[in-house]
Chain A
């Protein structure tokens, strides 16, 4: 009896986690993931049914089921990296380059407790994996006249005996893009470099060691919605992973360290702009922030013919600090502010997960996660200042959080199934929610202050996931209703400074969510398939307010055409107007509906050569994505030409 199911739709698959596949007849612990192969991040997210908070053309924040930031755990091969910028300029996804990623995966359940316990589960980016018995190179170059965006890539893989090494580098440069209708969007240019490297060695048939490194350097992040540009954001992740067996029990251990240093300033802004801007005019504000995370994850599996017990520990330690130095344009007045004063968060989690086949067709999985966290402020003066501002002196705390998820999956055939689940996910406040100070939120022009007294946030959700494969039609549908109790949000107003309200994070009203998305794909013949996706999210705080930055209902219709050396994809996306907006918590504007037309072509004329064309917003529609911070207009027509050369070595 196999626990495996596979559902393939266009570019999206729900598959068991590849790392767990075994051939010795013992049941494999299956992870039903939505997996999306590497493509540009926005495309990858869109195909996965996700959306992004847009701040320009790069470094968007992934949103799932109407939640983001601290409610989603983002990992890179299971390794955590913590954003440093207090203004949310560097979401974790900004440190992965889609071209250097194999896939983005997340569990279809409402809350994946493997690496965290937020309401949005875990997004895991898997970096390029070294390949054994293969020596290859891959060179690519892409150009988009809109903003003169250039992307180049070099990827080399080689192997010797039981070892393999792979190194890949991506360089991206762009100047300001032009929005639909022909207006340039200032400060939207960017400059990024990303390197990934991995070495893997099979010690024997049961043991493998992999060392991974990721380095990312952004010398221009390109956030037109922000007051400042990042001039140097560097991040790194290094980890060693051992997969093997101890007394026949599969063991998986990962030790890693990640770091981020984020420096932003006003050097690229004109004096006139600084003098006249809405928030803190006449002030240059270079900011420096850093985080360092050290983590250990280890799991072991016990199994018999019908059940699997997985026990895991997930421990991390985070050190973070951020400060800002301010100087008036005339240079006469200076000041310095600490935004995060030497925060140390140490946490450890124990995760038992039990799978059992109740019948041949019914799998029951129960997962728990017990987290313990010690958090403290090490900077006394900052602690004093924050305590006074937030009205709390809890600068040191030991907290516990208990999460659990239970679900049943009914398998009706090898390719169709229904799963229903209930989950309780309890998360700690993030270090910024608890200890951040004077964090600017440009969308609503408010200043955010952390609150050391915050309670844990607890989300409850019930969800259903349906996966059908009938003849040449595949369909998946997902339904979720959830409530987030003690929802952490900046409800409390501390005062008005300059022109911005200063808000304090508190445990506020319950956030309710309703999520549904449907994906249907029909294969008309060997060459042509068509499909549609519909997604709808509502999130609201009872009678108080709607949640901010919730994507409007979106429908996409696409068709795929595939010949031996040629594939094409055309998509029409209709995004409805968003009228369910936040008017109290984080006031935002309504956004109008719009339609975009996209075409993606791939031609494979000879072995080793690929020619690509990626056309976005072909009608050059001027529109504002509702999740665009401060209503920055989206890019207009974008015509990317690409060439990839993959010689056989």
Chain B
């Protein structure tokens, strides 16, 4: 049995507007920690499915959580999330969460949205081979400058996103990068053989900083490093990404350090 439910986009928008008025905010690169945003709640065949995120969704990495409850207390065997942007007909990478386990009381994952706009999150709750429910949540993704889509040739494209800390600060800041490869913009595979060289730079001051740690792979497609900002102001982070055969790309992200 497979059951579908669809939450109207307007309802989601209303929820987000209400939540947005509570003071959650973001700029291009930073996210102010916010109370859990409820992206949607629906009940399908007695299964209540609750989709939440820690902050308003935006282009780049967003962490979401899915919790399914049945009156009999049954535990789902597996939960999966698939993404679709209906207006463009493509998806985006779904990853493990960077800040904790994937499974616990709730299923947690990260989604690397590649474009702003309306997206559908197809959430499948599987209790057994013959017992599953599917809920489709319509969500709105805000714009940001955290994702770069790189088209190498007709066959291959890459998605690179920078995951900043909740707030940039003077001093050492952990920074993550996800690199995914795709050939059909629907399925994405993590890229694990990249070498990264990040360079913080303060264009207005004409200098960089010392004490940075170059990102290295820590999980599938995920690289972790540290950038050390020595002063407040406008910085850029340039990431020279190489593959074993040569340079893949050189990306620059803008950062405002308060």
Within 8 A of A (CB), among B195-228: 202-213, 226, 228
**A335-B232, A449-B210 given; A384·B205 CB < 8 A:** no
Residues in chain A near residue B207, CB distance under 8 A: 280, 497-498
Q: Which of A282, A337, A383, A390 contacts B211 (CB 8 A)?
A: A390
- Contact present for B169 and A388 (CB under 8 Å): no
Shortest distance between the CB of B77 and any CB in chain A (Å): 43
Q: Does B172 contact A (CB under 8 A)?
A: yes
Complex CA distance for A383 and B172, rounded to whole angstroms = 9
Which chain A residue has the least Cβ–Cβ distance from B228? A388
Q: Does B171 contact A (CB under 8 A)?
A: yes
**A385-B171, A389-B230 given; A280·B212 CB < 8 A:** no
Complex CA distance for A334 and B170, rounded to whole angstroms = 15
- Contact present for B206 and A385 (CB under 8 Å): no
Complex CA distance for A176 and B209, rounded to whole angstroms = 36
Q: Which of A337, A381, A389, A391 contacts B169 (CB 8 A)?
A: A381
Q: Count B interface residues, CB 8 Å.
A: 24
Binds B, one of A325-333, A401-409, A483-491, A589-597: A325-333
**A338-B170, A381-B169, A382-B171 given; A328·B211 CB < 8 A:** no
Shortest distance between the CB of B62 and any CB in chain A (Å): 26
**A335-B204, A335-B231, A336-B231 given; A388·B170 CB < 8 A:** no
4 shortest A-B CB distances, which residue pairs? A384-B171, A333-B204, A335-B233, A388-B211
Residues in chain B near residue A383, CB distance under 8 A: 171
Shortest distance between the CB of A221 and any CB in chain B (Å): 24
**A381-B169, A388-B171, A388-B172 given; A495·B231 CB < 8 A:** no
**A335-B204, A494-B210, A494-B211 given; A385·B233 CB < 8 A:** no
- Contact present for A381 and B211 (CB under 8 Å): no
Within 8 A of B (CB), among A167-201: none
Q: Does A465 contact B (CB under 8 A)?
A: no
Q: Mark B223-245, 1 if CB is under 8 A from A, else 0.
A: 00010111111100000000000
Complex CA distance for A495 and B234, rounded to whole angstroms = 21
14 additional contacts (CB under 8 A) given A337-B232, A495-B210, A497-B209: A280-B207, A324-B231, A326-B231, A326-B233, A333-B234, A335-B202, A335-B205, A338-B170, A384-B170, A388-B211, A389-B211, A391-B211, A438-B230, A497-B210
Which chain A residue has the least Cβ–Cβ distance from B206? A498
Shortest distance between the CB of B160 and any CB in chain A (Å): 24
Q: Which of B170, B202, B212, B213 contacts A381 (CB 8 A)?
A: B170
Within 8 A of B (CB), among A309-342: 324, 326, 328, 332-338
Which chain A residue has the least Cβ–Cβ distance from B204? A333
Residues in chain A near residue B171, CB distance under 8 A: 380-388
Shortest distance between the CB of A409 and any CB in chain B (Å): 50
Complex CA distance for A449 and B212, rounded to whole angstroms = 14
Shortest distance between the CB of A130 and any CB in chain B (Å): 48
Residues in chain B near residue A623, CB distance under 8 A: none
User: Which of A283, A382, A385, A390 is packed against the most chain B CB atoms within 10 Å?
Assistant: A385
Residues in chain A near residue B169, CB distance under 8 A: 381, 384
Shortest distance between the CB of A323 and any CB in chain B (Å): 9
Q: Does A76 contact B (CB under 8 A)?
A: no
The interface residues of chain A, by DSSP majority, are classed as: mixed
Residues in chain B near residue A391, CB distance under 8 A: 211
Q: Which of B172, B204, B232 contacts A384 (CB 8 A)?
A: B172
Within 8 A of A (CB), among B35-72: none
Complex CA distance for A438 and B231, rounded to whole angstroms = 10
Q: Does A550 contact B (CB under 8 A)?
A: no
Shortest distance between the CB of B249 and any CB in chain A (Å): 23
**A381-B171, A382-B170, A384-B172 given; A336·B206 CB < 8 A:** no
- Contact present for A437 and B205 (CB under 8 Å): no
Which chain A residue has the least Cβ–Cβ distance from B233? A335
**A382-B170, A494-B210 given; A326·B205 CB < 8 A:** yes
Shortest distance between the CB of B154 and any CB in chain A (Å): 40
Complex CA distance for A337 and B234, rounded to whole angstroms = 12
Which chain B residue has the least Cβ–Cβ distance from A504? B210
- Contact present for A502 and B210 (CB under 8 Å): yes
Complex CA distance for A388 and B208, rounded to whole angstroms = 14
Q: Does A145 contact B (CB under 8 A)?
A: no
Complex CA distance for A504 and B213, rounded to whole angstroms = 17
**A438-B230, A494-B210 given; A385·B205 CB < 8 A:** no
Q: Which of B206, B210, B212, B213 contacts A283 (CB 8 A)?
A: B206
> What are 26 A-B interface contacts by the 8 Å CB criterion?
A280-B205, A281-B206, A283-B205, A326-B233, A328-B205, A333-B233, A335-B205, A335-B232, A336-B232, A337-B232, A381-B169, A381-B170, A383-B171, A384-B169, A384-B170, A384-B172, A387-B211, A388-B172, A388-B212, A388-B226, A389-B230, A391-B211, A449-B210, A497-B209, A498-B206, A498-B207
